[in-house]
Amino acid sequence: MQIRPKRFDVGPILKQETIPVPPKSTAKELEVVLSRLGANMLISVLKNLPESLKNGRQQPTEGVTHAPKISARTSCIKWEEQTSEEIFRLHRAIGSIIPLQTLWMDNTIKLLDLVEVNRSVLTDPKLTGQAVIPGSIIYHKQSQKLLVCCKDGWIGVRSVMLKKTLTAADFYNGYLHPWHKKNSQAHPSQCRFQTLRLPAKKRGEKIVAMQQCTK
């Protein structure tokens, strides 16, 4: 687009292309595709700049959407409010920049690798045979994933960061299993993930703005 003095994102469009967003793609993966496309478009415009400027068209005023501002608070999962699909979308949108976060036993944990849970795993008696509340954690040995209960189902976690990067098996063996062994009479919900409440943004705090990958 053509740049207007002291204004951002408002100039005439010189060239525009549309491509489908690949299913389950992440923002990082989409960035690679769009950067290549954008580079080729820029070269095309520069090769015939006078005509490109002449044929520029104004941006539409209807149907405009604004990318939300993303900060560390955006990455805090609300297990009671967000569905497994919403959490997975959020991970794909910002996970490569700001890993999703949660609270466990007063410790902040970053969830590094989130995946959808297969239907075959969802038939496990541990998931269907008892009442669980959002944030509850179950280690699924066969798939080597932590399964975390969300508002409407389960999300899989393959690795976390607690002081250092841990696989799901490492987190289970080093933290979850010892806790359950030591607190055998406690209800499993006491060992669940909880929403991390970060303080309101301070003035001057750096914020990253980007478009979320939602599909």
- Residue bearing tokens 């002449």: 54
pTM above 0.95, yes or no: no
Q: How far apart are CA 30 and CA 133, in angstroms?
A: 34
Are residues 4 and 110 located together in one domain of the fold? no
| Residue 26 lies inside a defined structural domain of this protein | yes
The predicted structure's pLDDT at residue 126: 66
Are residues 48 and 101 located together in one domain of the fold? no
Residue range(s) defining the domain that contains residue 13: 1-58
Sequence letter at residue 42 = L
Percentage of the chain beyond pLDDT 90 is 55
Say yes or no to pLDDT of 204 above 80. Answer: no
Are residues 43 and 110 located together in one domain of the fold? no
| Residue 207 lies inside a defined structural domain of this protein | no
Say yes or no to pLDDT of 21 above 80. Answer: yes
The predicted structure's pLDDT at residue 130: 66
| Domains contained in the chain, number | 2
The predicted structure's pLDDT at residue 186: 78
Are residues 92 and 126 located together in one domain of the fold? yes
Are residues 178 and 99 located together in one domain of the fold? yes
Q: How far apart are CA 138 and CA 143, in angstroms?
A: 12
Radius of gyration for the chain, computed over Cα atoms and rounded to the nearest angstrom: 22
The predicted structure's pLDDT at residue 66: 81
Report, as an integer, the average pLDDT of 2-21. Answer: 85
The predicted structure's pLDDT at residue 214: 38
Say yes or no to pLDDT of 199 above 80. Answer: no
For residue 191, give both structure tokens: 């060992």
The predicted structure's pLDDT at residue 62: 86
Are residues 145 and 110 located together in one domain of the fold? yes
Are residues 82 and 171 located together in one domain of the fold? yes
